[in-house]
Amino acid sequence: MPDLDTDSKPSDSQIEFRFPVVRNPAHLIFTDQWRFQPQPLKMIIFPSHIPHTVYPWKGTGERTILAWDVRLMSKIEK
């Protein structure tokens, strides 16, 4: 995890998820949100269809992001 500059905002480097809140079945309103602050040795795995934003960061080092496709299979499926 890279070190942030001293003038960084509290949201810098966070990932924010927005979850739908259905008030009217004809419309999805994304108002429920959750933020995750990266930490050493922590990883979050989530489906790519969840709306998300990654905030930029100012600092030294590198940000590493892994993205891949997964297909979950039953143990009895071949």
- Measured between alpha carbons, how far is 37 from 16 in angstroms, rounded to an integer? 9
Q: CB atoms < 10 A from the CB of 56, how many? A: 10
Q: What is the pLDDT of residue 1?
A: 62
Q: Which pair of tokens denotes residue 31? A: 């108002």
DSSP string, 37-75: ---TT------TTS-EEE----EES-------------T
For the question of whether the overall pTM of this predicted structure is more than 0.75, the answer is no
Residue 44 scores a pLDDT above 70:
yes
- Measured between alpha carbons, how far is 27 from 51 in angstroms, rounded to an integer? 15
